[in-house]
Amino acid sequence: MLLLAGLGNPGPRYANNRHNIGFMAVDEIVRRHSFSPWRSRFQADCAEGSLDGEKVLVLKPQTFMNESGRSVGEALRFFKLAPEDVIVLYDEIDLAPGKIRVKQGGGTGGHNGIRSLEAHIGKDFWRVRLGVGHPGDKELVHGHVLGDFAKADKVWLEKLLDAVACEIPALAAGDAPRFMSRVAEIMNPPRPKPPRKKPDGDADGKGGDAAPSSVPTSESDD
């Protein structure tokens, strides 16, 4: 069994904040993979389903970002799971908008939700960092993450959420490299190769020279 937690702040006031991209990602996963309806449990909104044959409980902690670990820790202990069974999706200002990185363990990067998780369940959970970009000045970070996505962000944001939801079964199966590469390919598809230029004189598109008119090409000499 896996716990899949999206981080954010509860309530309509924060719904479109950059800080809530984790909530947005798990909302799309639940919708795409036809999980159960949301219900209140473990100080969170919860939905149940499966990914790649693995039973999954999705959590959206309702404790506010800075106390996210309380909810995840409660669910972890109830199901007697290890931190390695937890996948957390959250915003990352040090990644460009639309970029994604996956790693097991690591530091908090100054993210209060991750700091809370480490305090409650340790460091060995999986982290899916979803890039929201940096405002360029550390003094502006707080307002940036608690600000809403701009209308111009809609194109890449919807594409990213769709890609994550589409490819999350690979991560549930333990294949983080495939998950990352497939999401990256969806976000930046390879350019189509230009058509091959026909050689000079290849008027019929089949290559080679036309047969001389004096030599039979489809009848025998008999």
What does the block give as tokens for 143?
């307002």
Q: Distances in Å between the alpha carbon of 11 and those of 29, 39, 202?
A: 20, 15, 67
* HSE-up of residue 187 (Cα within 13 Å, Cβ side): 22
145 near 93, Cβ under 8 Å? yes
Residue (of 32, 139, 122) closest to 82 by Cα position:
122
Size of the chain, expressed as the number of residues it contains: 222
What does the block give as tokens for 80?
């007697």
* Sign of the alpha-carbon dihedral angle for 116, 102, 13, 63: negative
**Residue 129 DSSP SS3:** strand
E strand or H helix at 97, and its extent? none
Q: Beta partners for 17?
A: 148
Chain centre distance of CA 159: 10
Told to judge if 19 belongs to the known catalytic residues of this protein, a careful annotator would answer: yes
What does the block give as tokens for 6?
């999206």
Among 19, 33, 111, 144, the one annotated catalytic: 19
List active site positions: 19
